[in-house]
């Protein structure tokens, strides 16, 4: 089960498994992100390239609008490895 | 080899994860290996779903372990030739403005596995991935 929530303070929380079947559900939430935002991966177990694609396109949209972009936090080791293999540690602030 | 057929649809991914976890539990594979198997299978399976949409056939996924060697085999029946192993590489050092999501999945599969082979026989696409299991 996957879930993505945009909180009142602008944070996005992700839960469960972010696979290709969840892209539309995630897109609805990330399209609502208008300014710099923190994405909390604490509850996320898994991500595939489909999930990376949503994050990448959100980051591009925010940066092209002159914003600071997304800050990603609390990734588990496996997800952190995916980000490094994809070179995404160079285009996102990961804390 | 433990094999199962899955409907050609993204909704199969949850069932594929259950299949991987069941195999992992019976073959002493840890969480890291479950993540790797889920990841590489999803990337290949979703490519088959996206690029062979004319086929209505199920996709077969097989897993086997022999000592420290895992074999992952996906068979797409009655489809056109489509070799993901020959896809051009992705430059992961490009600046953000030049990055596109396309092609990233296959690039990442290559990062995870020790061997990635494609065969095409009798209108069937067969992808074989080899992954060494760490002690």
Secondary structure (3-state) at B114? coil
Which tokens go with B53? 């949409």
Q: Note which residues in 65-124 of chain B have CB less than 8 A from chain A.
A: 92-97, 99, 101, 104-105, 107-108, 111-112
| Shortest alpha-carbon distance between residue B18 and chain A (Å) | 12
Query: Taking CA atoms, what residue in B is nearest to A21?
Result: B10
Nearest to B8 by CA among B47, B64, B34: B47
pLDDT at A27 over 90: yes
- Mean predicted confidence (pLDDT) in B63-83: 96
**Residue B32 CB coordination number (10 Å):** 13
- What's the sign of the alpha-carbon dihedral B3, B86, B125, B107? positive
CATH architecture of A2-94: 2-Layer Sandwich (3.30)
| Interface touch B96/A21, C-beta < 8 Å | no
ipTM: 0.94
The pLDDT value given to residue A1: 87
On whether the CB atoms of residues B115 and B129 are closer than 8 A, the answer is yes
Shortest distance, CA A19 to any CA of chain B (angstroms): 8
Quick check: A46 and A22 in contact, CB under 8 A?
A: no
Check CB contact of A6 with chain B, cutoff 8 Å: no
A58 at B interface, C-beta within 8 A:
no
B24 band by pLDDT with thresholds 50, 70 and 90:
very high
Which residues of chain B neighbour A64 with C-beta distances below 8 Å? Answer: 97
Per-residue pLDDT at A35: 81
Q: Are strands B124-132 and B2-6 parallel, antiparallel or unpaired?
A: unpaired
Q: Where are the domains of chain A?
A: 2-94
How would residue B64 be classed by pLDDT, with cut points 50, 70 and 90? very high
For A28-82, the pLDDT digits (tens) are 999 999 888 999 999 999 999 999 999 999 999 999 999 889 999 999 999 999 9
Residue for token digits 């433990």? B2
Q: What predicted TM-score, i.e. pTM, was given to this entire model?
A: 0.95
Fold that domain B2-132 belongs to in CATH: Heat Shock Protein 90 (3.30.565)
Candidate from A49, A59, A60 with C-beta closest to B108: A49
């Amino acid at each position: 089960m996957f879930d993505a929530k945009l909180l009142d303070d602008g944070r996005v929380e992700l839960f469960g498994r972010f696979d290709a079947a969840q892209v539309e559900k995630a897109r609805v939430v990330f399209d609502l992100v208008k300014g710099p935002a923190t994405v909390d991966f604490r509850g996320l177990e898994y991500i595939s390239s489909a999930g990376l694609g949503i994050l990448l396109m959100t980051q591009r949209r925010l940066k092209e609008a002159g914003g600071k972009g997304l800050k990603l936090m609390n990734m588990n080791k496996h997800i952190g490895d995916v980000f490094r293999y994809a070179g995404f540690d160079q285009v996102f602030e990961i804390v | 080899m433990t094999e199962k057929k899955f409907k050609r649809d993204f909704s199969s991914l949850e069932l594929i994860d259950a299949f991987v976890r069941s195999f992992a539990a019976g073959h002493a594979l840890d969480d890291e290996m479950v993540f790797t198997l889920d990841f590489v299978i999803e990337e290949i399976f979703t490519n088959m779903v996206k690029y062979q949409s004319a086929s209505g056939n199920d996709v077969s996924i097989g897993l086997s372990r022999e000592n420290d060697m895992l074999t992952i085999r996906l068979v797409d029946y009655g489809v056109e030739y489509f070799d993901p192993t020959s896809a051009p590489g992705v430059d992961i050092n490009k600046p953000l403005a030049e990055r596109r999501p396309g092609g990233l999945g296959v690039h990442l599969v290559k990062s995870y596995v020790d061997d990635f082979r494609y065969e095409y026989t009798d209108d069937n696409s067969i992808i074989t991935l080899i992954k060494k299991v760490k002690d």
